[in-house]
Amino acid sequence: MSTITVTRRPHRERSYWTYFLPGAVLFTAVIAIPLVYNIYLSLTRWSGVGKPRFVGLHQYTRLFSDELFWTSFRNSLAMIVAMVVVPTIIGLVLAAVLFDYLGRRFRGSVVSVLRATFYLPQILPVVVAGIVWGWILRPDGAVNAILEAIGLGSLAQDWLGDPSFALPTVMLVMVWVQIGYPVVIFMAALGRVDPELYEAAELDGAGWWARLRAITIPQIRPETYVVALTCTIAALKVFGPIFALTRGGPENTTNVPSYFAYTTFFKKLDVGYGAAIATVLTLIIVLVAAGFMVFQARAERKDA
Amino acid sequence: MSVIVTPTTTPGASNAADPAGGSPTPGAVSAAPAVRSRFTRGPGRWVVLVLVTVTALAVIAPFLLMLLNAFKSPSDYSTNGPLSLPTEFYTEGLTTYWNQVDYPQKLLNSIVISGTVAVAATVISLLNAFALGIGRVKGRVWIVGLFLLANMLPQEALVYPLYFFAKQVGLYNTQLSVIIIFTVIQSAFGTYLLSSVLTTFPRSVLEAARLDGASRWQVLWRVIFPITRPTLSVLVIFFFIWTWNEFFIPLVMLISNSTQTVPVALATLQGDRLMDAPTTNAGALISLIPCVIFFLIFQRTLTRGVMAGAEK
């Protein structure tokens, strides 16, 4: 018996590797090599033609003294507020209301339709939604028309063109884009919670708010981590909405790292510098993800 | 065990991942009849319903405004503004956009790219996951970690080398370049998800198949594939939509009219500032229609998400 396993083993191992081969080759060609090559490019000066010239860490020292670099990463923080903090809080309340209040007082289809409505912006191309928003927020667009119609015409603005309004306006659009995601995840998570918990709490006289704090929030903590992590990464990477709404303007007040890298690569043809921006962004994302995972593991251990 | 995984390939278009093996619809959470009737009364519930409905209306308001203005003539728009009802049912905005960007061509491009990626990425994910989750090849923990990491990478960190290499090998401005890139990016997520699903695959089933003399390929094709099919079909749907909604890499890679996708075509034309407001809205409307149809068909799958629990 033992001789059979010994002779069969190497064969078995090899034949499982063959299943992994296509995936491994593609992964190497499309992700591993480009990633490494991009890091190399960040150490060079290159316009995309001819040979890259090695300049060491020059692009990075240049980066840290570039005002635009700091602006773009400051705007990333604004994106985190708009795409993580606010949607998670609103999403939590909406999911709890839909699940623990309306879900028990109305037919399931009512809740399903509402949930689907909140989720709709998530499945549409964000660029197309951005273009619609761009028109709505134009000086002659729908927002100003509504303000005028209700007698608040004095509040009308060039929402995306005014440097002091552009970033908050973009943030509001991002809240709109993101809101459905936590709602759907949290509602799915609540489906896992034993309904008797809610019933017992309700019979004991716990109001909706008390149930939210004592049952809902602790029960869906794992999902909250996932939502926070994935949305934070999405916020650090955001590109499409900025492209559609403002192209980073006015005066770079809404520029973000990904758009900054894009223009540096393809408009300024400063490839080495663009690669440095992209490398720093990658590093930040990896650190944020690792930090989240350590934090989550520690919190879970504490619970156990 | 329950696995919650959420890919991050696109900035906005995220996705639902349902940790529990299928959650009941919220309405189906029926309390004991006595309790239920006690709490379904009272006018308070209508107030809450109205509040939530108003919020939901605010969410779809941009689409309603788009719809309202997609059927206006430019002169109607300039005299009556964005809030009035159209004075006539004007469809020239739609036809203008349709012809200007050769919409059927764009639609075909998007379908070809997203469809190929959805199937190819799912196949690659299954093959990878078979080796990692069932075969448990050496170093699989590290490999899965690598795929998870790849999933978080910003596309900016890959885009210039990809653009440069694509030019070198003559794949620049071809659908094939975008198909290959997204097959890999989507399968990085699929591999991560399916590996954890297959790790919990009942060993007894595999053992039984092996005793019956099934080869490795037969185990994959006759045993694992049928059992994981629900998860695979969810992956196909998600990969299709995510690829459809992708913007950054298609924007860089596809520059000519004959290769561009639906979202890129709209953004490019809008960038040229050639469109008046009604045409912009008409363009946005026909760009969104395929997604809305897809959403209506797969609404339940999309909102309930990936079922990764594999203990059934």
HEC readout, A269-302: CCHHHHHHHHHHHHHHHHHHHHHHHHHHHHHHHH
C-alpha atoms less than 13 angstroms from C-alpha of B94 in its C-beta half-sphere: 15
> What integer is the mean pLDDT of A62-87?
95
B chain contacts of residue A33, beta-carbon cutoff 8 Å: 161
Could you read off the pLDDT of B139-155 as tens digits, one per residue? 888 999 899 888 899 99
Distance CA B34, CA B49 (A): 22
Q: Is the pLDDT of residue A228 over 50?
A: yes
Rounded to the nearest angstrom, the gap between the alpha carbon of residue B59 and the centroid of all alpha carbons in its chain is 20
Beta-carbon neighbour count of residue B271 at 10 Å?
A: 13
A chain contacts of residue B122, beta-carbon cutoff 8 Å: none
Q: Do A19 and B158 touch (CB under 8 A)?
A: no
3-class secondary structure, B17: strand
Assigned domain for B26 exists: no
> Which tokens go with A165?
């309004």
Assigned domain for B269 exists: no
Q: Of B89, B88, B86, B57, nearest to B69 (Cα)?
A: B86
Rounded to the nearest angstrom, the gap between the alpha carbon of residue B158 and the centroid of all alpha carbons in its chain is 21
Q: Do B48 and A30 touch (CB under 8 A)?
A: no
Could you read off the pLDDT of B84-135 as tens digits, one per residue? 888 888 888 888 889 888 999 999 999 999 999 999 999 999 999 999 988 8
B180 burial level (CB within 10 Å; 0-12, 13-18, 19+)? buried
Percent of chain A with pLDDT over 90: 56
Assigned domain for B250 exists: yes
CATH number, position B117: 1.10.3720.10
CB proximity B1 to A under 8 Å: no
CB proximity B162 to A under 8 Å: yes
CB proximity B32 to A under 8 Å: yes
Assigned domain for B44 exists: no
Beta-carbon neighbour count of residue A24 at 10 Å?
A: 16
Distance CA A183, CA A270 (A): 41
Assigned domain for B82 exists: no
Give the range of the structural domain holding residue B215, as residue numbers without chain letter: 110-262
Q: Is the pLDDT of residue A123 over 90?
A: no
B chain contacts of residue A226, beta-carbon cutoff 8 Å: 4-6, 17
The predicted pLDDT at position A168 comes to 95
Backbone angles phi and psi of B220, in degrees to 5: -65, -50
The predicted pLDDT at position B187 comes to 95
Residue B127, Ramachandran bin (φ over 0: left; ψ between -120 and 50: alpha; else beta)? alpha
Distance CA A221, CA B142 (A): 27
Assigned domain for B170 exists: yes
Q: Do B248 and A239 touch (CB under 8 A)?
A: yes
Q: Of A40, A62, A56, A47, nearest to A271 (Cα)?
A: A47
Assigned domain for B295 exists: no
Distance CA B173, CA B265 (A): 14
Band of pLDDT at residue B215, cut at 50, 70 and 90: confident
> Which tokens go with B299?
């609404």
Could you read off the pLDDT of B22-77 as tens digits, one per residue? 334 444 444 444 444 445 556 778 888 999 999 999 999 999 999 988 888 888 88
Q: Do A184 and B55 touch (CB under 8 A)?
A: no
Percent of chain B with pLDDT over 70: 82
Instruction: Give the mutation candidate from A18, A131, A300 for the B interface (greatest B CB count, under 10 A).
Output: A131
Query: Which residue stretches of A150-270 are H helix?
Result: 163-178, 180-190, 195-203, 208-211, 217-219, 221-237, 240-245, 257-266
Residue of A nearest to B19 (CA): A189
The predicted pLDDT at position A279 comes to 96
> What integer is the mean pLDDT of A85-94?
94
Band of pLDDT at residue B274, cut at 50, 70 and 90: low
Beta-carbon neighbour count of residue A299 at 10 Å?
A: 13
Q: Is the pLDDT of residue B264 over 70?
A: yes
Q: What is the dihedral of CA A239, A267, B183, B137, to 10 degrees?
A: -90
CB proximity B183 to A under 8 Å: yes
Task: For Cα atoms B2, B133, B182, give the angle at the middle one, nearest 5 degrees.
Answer: 90
Q: What is the dihedral of CA A239, A240, A241, A245, to 10 degrees?
A: 100
Could you read off the pLDDT of A1-58 as tens digits, one per residue? 444 444 444 444 457 889 999 999 999 999 999 999 999 999 999 998 889 999 999 9
Q: Do B26 and A108 touch (CB under 8 A)?
A: yes
Rounded to the nearest angstrom, the gap between the alpha carbon of residue A206 and the centroid of all alpha carbons in its chain is 35
How many contacts does A have with B, using Cβ atoms within 8 A?
A: 363
The predicted pLDDT at position B28 comes to 41
Assigned domain for B292 exists: no
B chain contacts of residue A44, beta-carbon cutoff 8 Å: none
Q: Which domains does chain A have, with CATH numbers?
A: 67-303 (1.10.3720.10)
A chain contacts of residue B183, beta-carbon cutoff 8 Å: 26
Cβ neighbours of residue A276 closer than 8 Å, sequence gap 6 or more: A42, A59, A60, A62, A63
Based on the structure, what is the number of domains in chain B?
A: 1
The predicted pLDDT at position B214 comes to 86
Q: Do B287 and A128 touch (CB under 8 A)?
A: yes
